[in-house]
């Protein structure tokens, strides 16, 4: 006996599962869309042409010789930019062709014509790429000679190129992953929304997904690891450094600042103070022990309290009684240029005091990305506190007051002044070294330079108070003798020391879209004549030069060494012709350069 439909028992209702929410038809469409975008979408011919042309430009020289990873970064980002530009221009070109009035102009090529065009274009691109790569590798040798560095071998450039192509392939896969995500969202939303809603919704959801992934990857992984590594390095007690034995140095006997709390950069700074004996031997004159004051960054005190700690150390060491007092603003980690510190101590016979603090444990690059206000705030707070104490003293008993900083320290130190005129009013002199191009006062002075003088060495007010120095000879006459020699350098004396090959000085966001004056002028003794400009590409070339710019020989890149002795002598108003070589040799021995 058959049971009819009306007599069959009904199944108990079940909760809706994934199959109910995503029917088989939709799942098939999702899988098809993912495979199509990820694997079947061909490379764009115009994009490939753009990537090839960008690769040719990427092999052109920049300011410094490239390591394999510098070459990879430059090549990978440049080809990615070229591919994106080629895709965009190709679409615009096809749109214009479709709008042509004559049908013959839109006639497609025959299969034979396409084959000839494909293989002919591939051969031409291969030949040009090989030529540009070989020429670029040879020019890297030229740059190495200019900055007194051992040239890299061809394997370095080959490995860098391969890694750059890998970066380019990774960027293409990432873009396709974004396209796949957008296609998936459109498939999911299409049964429930009108066409306009599907488009808007898929864009919004794709953007949110991309933002979430980027945030987790960059901030949640990369930045956190960089921060953890920086903080661990700041706590590291190097066995090569010895605690100071002088009571006139922070971290030494009787200091209010514990040796362990000075930070890695601070411990290195105070342990390198010049001895009375070393100064006397180099200058062949009596000397006294110099004062070095430093306060490290601690979690249990604010920036204002750290400034007060510096003042307490200046009081303890009786630094106000010295002939010269210099306030340094450090880089992100609190690092100071030892050539600058030692130059002051040797030139003054030890009758000086230098003071600084640590406002961060992070590198300058990380501070630039995360927080540029704290360095400026630190520079202003420290300067204002020391300046107020000096103003309360009898003018006849005040030490001469100077300020200094290198790299991000120059940017932060100049933030203590509203403008250049105020700087001239409030200090006896300054030495700003390797100043980043985004520093407001530097930009103001450079843009107001005398007509005909180059951007790398501008002449301001005929050098009466402010002088830009690419090499010591620029202290006495304009760069390359452009114009008459300078007259007497009147106090207060401000020196901006910068090399033509220093990427820290010349890198700025405007390189993305505008050719700077220094590239147009082609000035500089250690810059290759073939250095040019291209949108986006030059920006990344100079950016890739920065990380190792301090590793090249002194007098080039971001390495400011021996010239600082002569620069500080000029700013202090001293004649150094006889003692310069002895002081330079003494500092080189102390730093282990010889």
3-class SS letters over 552-578: CCCCCCCCCCCHHHHHHHHHHCCCCCC
Specify the pLDDT at position 575.
78
> pLDDT confidence of 19, banded at 50, 70, 90?
very low
Task: Give the DSSP H or E segment for 390.
Answer: helix 373-391
Cβ-in-10-Å burial (0-12, 13-18, 19+) of 172 comes to: middle
Specify the pLDDT at position 117.
74
**Closest to 587 measured CA to CA, from 275, 296, 143, 314:** 275
Specify the pLDDT at position 122.
78
Specify the pLDDT at position 10.
41
The CA distance from 246 to 350, in Å, is 13
Q: Say whether pLDDT at 20 is over 50.
A: no
Phi-psi region of 257 (alpha: psi -120 to 50; beta: other; left: phi over 0): beta
Q: Say whether pLDDT at 4 is over 60.
A: no
Specify the pLDDT at position 365.
79
% residues pLDDT > 70 (the chain): 90
Average pLDDT of the segment spanning 44-60: 88
> How is the chain split into domains, by residue range?
22-99+113-192, 244-590
The CA distance from 20 to 94, in Å, is 43
**What CA–CA distances, in Å, run from 212 to 4, 56, 182, 261, 562?**
56, 35, 15, 38, 49
> pLDDT confidence of 108, banded at 50, 70, 90?
low
The CA distance from 399 to 324, in Å, is 5
The CA distance from 538 to 548, in Å, is 17
The CA distance from 488 to 491, in Å, is 9
Specify the pLDDT at position 94.
80
Q: Say whether pLDDT at 69 is over 80.
A: yes
What is the average pLDDT score of the chain?
A: 86
Q: Say whether pLDDT at 164 is over 70.
A: yes
Q: Say whether pLDDT at 567 is over 90.
A: yes
Q: Say whether pLDDT at 219 is over 80.
A: no
The CA distance from 31 to 415, in Å, is 57
The CA distance from 330 to 246, in Å, is 23
Average pLDDT of the segment spanning 423-449: 96
What is the b/e burial string over 77-116, where b = at least 16 CB atoms within 10 angstroms of the residue's CB? Answer: bbbbbbbbbbbeebeeeeeeeeeeeeeeeeeeeeeeeeee
Phi-psi region of 312 (alpha: psi -120 to 50; beta: other; left: phi over 0): alpha
- Helix, strand or coil, per DSSP, at residue 496: strand
Average pLDDT of the segment spanning 37-55: 77
* Torsion sign, CA atoms 191, 195, 197, 202: positive
Q: Say whether pLDDT at 413 is over 80.
A: yes
> pLDDT confidence of 406, banded at 50, 70, 90?
very high
Q: Say whether pLDDT at 266 is over 70.
A: yes
The CA distance from 239 to 269, in Å, is 15
The CA distance from 474 to 338, in Å, is 22
Average pLDDT of the segment spanning 103-115: 65
Residue pair 64/545 in contact by the 8 Å Cβ criterion? yes
| Orientation of helix 68-98 relative to helix 45-58, angle to 10° | 140
Quick one: DSSP state of residue 326? E
Specify the pLDDT at position 24.
57
Q: Say whether pLDDT at 291 is over 80.
A: yes
300 token code pair: 């249990």
């Amino acid at each position: 006996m058959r049971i009819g439909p009306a007599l069959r028992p009904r199944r108990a209702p079940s909760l809706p599962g994934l199959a109910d929410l995503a029917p088989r038809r939709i799942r098939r469409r999702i899988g098809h869309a993912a495979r199509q975008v990820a694997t079947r979408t061909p490379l764009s011919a115009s994009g490939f042409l753009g990537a090839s042309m960008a690769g040719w430009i990427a092999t052109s020289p920049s300011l410094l010789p490239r390591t394999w990873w510098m070459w990879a970064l430059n090549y990978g980002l440049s080809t990615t930019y070229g591919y994106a530009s080629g895709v965009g221009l190709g679409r615009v070109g096809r749109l214009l062709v479709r709008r042509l009035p004559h049908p013959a102009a839109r006639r497609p090529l025959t299969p034979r014509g396409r084959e000839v065009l494909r293989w002919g274009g591939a051969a031409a691109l291969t030949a040009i790429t090989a030529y540009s790569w070989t020429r670029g590798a040879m020019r890297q040798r030229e740059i190495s000679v200019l900055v007194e560095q051992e040239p890299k071998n061809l394997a370095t450039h080959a490995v860098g190129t391969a890694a750059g192509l890998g970066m380019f392939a990774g960027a293409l896969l990432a873009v396709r992953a974004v396209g796949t995500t957008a296609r998936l969202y459109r498939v999911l939303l299409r049964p429930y929304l009108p066409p306009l809603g599907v488009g808007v919704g898929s864009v919004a959801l794709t953007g949110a997904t991309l933002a979430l992934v980027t945030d987790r990857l960059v901030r949640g992984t990369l930045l956190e690891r960089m921060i953890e590594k920086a903080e661990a390095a700041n706590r590291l007690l190097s066995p090569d450094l010895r605690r100071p034995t002088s009571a006139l140095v922070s971290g030494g006997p009787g200091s209010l600042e514990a040796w362990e709390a000075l930070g890695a950069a601070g411990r290195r700074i105070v342990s390198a103070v010049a001895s009375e004996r070393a100064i006397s031997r180099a200058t062949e004159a009596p000397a006294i022990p110099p004062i070095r004051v430093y306060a490290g960054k601690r979690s249990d005190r604010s920036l204002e309290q750290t400034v007060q700690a510096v003042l307490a150390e200046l009081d303890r060491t009786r630094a106000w009684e010295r002939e010269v007092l210099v306030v340094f603003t450090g880089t992100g980690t609190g690092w100071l240029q030892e050539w600058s510190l030692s130059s002051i101590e040797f030139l003054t016979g030890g009758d000086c005091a230098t003071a600084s603090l640590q406002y961060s444990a992070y590198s300058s690059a990380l501070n630039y990305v995360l927080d540029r206000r704290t360095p400026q705030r630190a520079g202003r707070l420290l300067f204002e506190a020391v300046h107020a104490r000096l103003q309360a003293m009898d003018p006849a008993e005040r030490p001469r007051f100077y300020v200094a900083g290198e790299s991000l320290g120059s940017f932060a130190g100049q933030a203590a002044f509203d403008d250049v005129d105020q700087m001239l009013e409030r200090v006896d002199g300054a030495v700003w070294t390797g100043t980043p191009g985004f520093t407001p006062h530097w930009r103001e002075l450079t843009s107001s330079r005398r007509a005909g003088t180059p951007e790398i060495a501008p002449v301001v007010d005929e050098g009466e108070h402010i002088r830009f120095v690419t090499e010591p000879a620029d202290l006495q006459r304009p760069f390359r003798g452009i114009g008459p020699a300078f007259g007497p350098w009147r106090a207060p004396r401000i020196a901006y020391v910068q090399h033509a090959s220093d990427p820290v000085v010349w890198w700025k966001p405007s390189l993305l879209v505008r050719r700077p004056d220094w590239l147009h002028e082609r000035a500089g003794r250690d810059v290759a004549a073939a250095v040019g400009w291209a949108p986006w590409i030059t920006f990344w070339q100079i950016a890739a030069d920065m990380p190792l710019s301090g590793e090249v020989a002194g007098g080039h890149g971001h390495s400011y060494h021996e010239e600082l002795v002569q620069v500080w002598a000029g700013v202090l108003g001293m004649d150094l012709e006889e003692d310069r070589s002895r002081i330079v040799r003494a500092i080189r021995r102390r730093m282990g350069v010889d």
